[in-house]
Amino acid sequence: MLIDKGSAPHGAIAPHPINREGLFKLDVDDDIWQNIGLNEDDHEGHAIIPGWLGSDNVRSGIKSLLLLDRCEEEERRLCKERQAMQEWMIEEWAAASKAKNICGMYKIICNCSMF
């Protein structure tokens, strides 16, 4: 590790080890989200809090962006569904028109008044 060799930046902190078995079952409170040792310092040496952690505006923006992404996904899904419905309606209209034409021809051929 760079910290052990003395090659890491001043004040660097090693992250907490992550249990391999739970790597893909992360919870919001797990150590991986703590961002320890990855912060930048301002000109006075104080840690700068990342925007996603310390800014209500950034968190609100992230939520809004995620909502926009879900809305765009839904819009694409609805467009595909509308297209499928339009294609189905065109097929049904063609079938009904063909049936009407066949029925009209049958009426002429049979010369019956039941239609």
**pLDDT of 38-63, one tens digit each?**
555 655 656 667 788 788 999 999 99
Q: Do residues 57 and 93 both lie within one domain?
A: yes
Tokens matching residue 35: 């961002």
CB 50 within 8 A of CB 27: no
Tell me how far apart the alpha carbons of residues 39 and 12 are, in angstroms, rounded to a whole number: 9
Cα 115 to the chain's mean position, in Å?
Answer: 55
Local structure of residue 53 (DSSP, 8 states): H
Structural domain total, the chain: 2
Residue 19: pLDDT above 80? no
pLDDT at position 7 is 77
Lowest mean per-residue pLDDT among 22-26, 63-67, 102-106: 22-26
Q: Who contacts 2 (Cβ-Cβ below 8 Å, separation ≥6)?
A: 8, 12
Q: Measuring CA to CA, which residue among 32, 12, 16 is closest to residue 24?
A: 32
Q: Given pLDDT bands bounded at 50, 70 and 90, which one contains residue 104?
A: confident
Same domain for 27 and 61? no
Average pLDDT over residues 92-97: 94
- Which residue range is the domain that position 72 belongs to? 50-115
